[in-house]
Amino acid sequence: MSFFAILFALLVEQIRPLPLNNTVYMAVRSWARTASRTLDAGQTPHGWLAWSALVLLPALAALALHWALILALGWSGVVIAFVLHAATLYVTLGFRQFSHHFTTIREALDAGDEVAARRALAAWKQVDASDLPKSEIVRHVIEHSVLAAHRHVFGVLGWYALLAAFGLGPAGAIIYRMSEFANRYYTRHAALRNAPMSKLQVSSSLLNAAQQAWAAVDWLPARVTSLGFAVVGNFEEAIDSWRNFAQRLARNNMSDGMNDNDGVILAATSGAVNVRLGGEALKEVFSPMASQAYQTDATMPLGANAPETTAGREPSVTHLRSIVGLVWRSVVLWMLLLALLTVARLLG
């Protein structure tokens, strides 16, 4: 069921992607606000309680529904459970949730319109890209796109397939996506906690819980994604870059919300396509007031004190095409492995 549910969800998502601010995402944001306001009292146990309510309750509800359908309805329940799996995957994974940003920037660079490329990058990541040279535009697009592909596709796919193999239904996809959302959502609102426009006060206990949980949840998927990039790319260089630069990249970008997992992915990507990554990153800025509240400098490049990069060639537009090929070859690799496992289970 897992292989066919993933395949069906990816095909439907390519034909009809979820619109921005759809009903599901609005409900998730509302649930995140409710969990924070009702359960986060500022102490460490309260932070974990709020995180658990946000992430684990939906996963447990999906798991309960999965088994209720199978046990109560028999074969017809299996068919309905397949629909449940495919629908869950449809809203938790997919290229089209971020690929339009990548496509817009690449087309602008292909046309020689660096101004449009900077504008598109700024709109995507909410940063000041006005002074970036072309090679830095490309580098940031590569880094953001690879991490987005991991979080929207490979991470969800890995957690779903692993837990589904143990009879846990679509719970894995929900745990991964909700963990990523909790980290991103609460980190953003923590940055705005002193700003007048802030609508949600996030305590340090909830923020720490979300960040620690996300680092743990993403630890294995990040390394599986990196291994896939190495297999379908330049294997020796990818592993060498992974070994020598992963920790350095994480340190360079610690204030940008990155962790060791992000560093592993970017280091492996750098070696797989022979591109230099991990230099001065952009500071995420949501507004002048938010920047002031978070005590950051909107014009100061992230990692300015430690602009260490990986080995490789200077980023160019041709690398964007290489990244597209790398990601799609990885998708084919993991789908092929899932297909083989599915056939083995059917024959066994």
Average pLDDT over residues 280-307: 39
Using CA atoms of 128, 259, 280, 311 in order, give the dihedral in degrees to the nearest 10.
-140
| Lowest-pLDDT range of 52-61, 67-76, 80-89 | 67-76
Distance in angstroms (rounded) separating the CA atoms of residues 54 and 51: 5
Angle at 341 between CA 338 and CA 343, to 5 degrees: 110
Does residue 135 contact residue 109 with C-beta atoms inside 8 Å?
Answer: no
Which residues does residue 250 pair with via DSSP β-bridges, in sequence order? none
Phi, psi of 281 (to 5 degrees): -90, 165
pLDDT digits (tens, 9 = 90+) for 232-287: 999 999 999 999 888 776 655 554 445 688 889 999 999 999 999 874 443 343 33
Per the model's pLDDT, the better-predicted residue between 160 and 309 turns out to be 160
Which residues does residue 302 pair with via DSSP β-bridges, in sequence order? 281
CA 235 from centre of chain: 23
Q: Output the pLDDT for position 38.
A: 93
Number of neighbouring beta carbons within 10 Å of residue 279: 22
Per the model's pLDDT, the better-predicted residue between 30 and 94 turns out to be 30
Q: How far is CA 310 from CA 239, 253, 264, in A?
A: 12, 13, 12
Distance in angstroms (rounded) separating the CA atoms of residues 195 and 150: 32
Does residue 267 contact residue 306 with C-beta atoms inside 8 Å?
Answer: no
Coil vs helix vs strand at 334: helix
| Lowest-pLDDT range of 6-15, 110-119, 142-151, 190-199 | 190-199
Which residues does residue 298 pair with via DSSP β-bridges, in sequence order? none
Report which of 174, 214, 157, 162 is spatially closest to residue 59, judged by C-alpha positions.
174
pLDDT digits (tens, 9 = 90+) for 20-63: 778 999 999 999 999 999 998 889 999 999 999 999 999 999 99
Does 172 have pLDDT greater than 60? yes
Under the banding of pLDDT at 50, 70 and 90, the label for residue 193 is low
Under the banding of pLDDT at 50, 70 and 90, the label for residue 76 is confident
Per the model's pLDDT, the better-predicted residue between 213 and 260 turns out to be 213
Distance in angstroms (rounded) separating the CA atoms of residues 307 and 82: 48
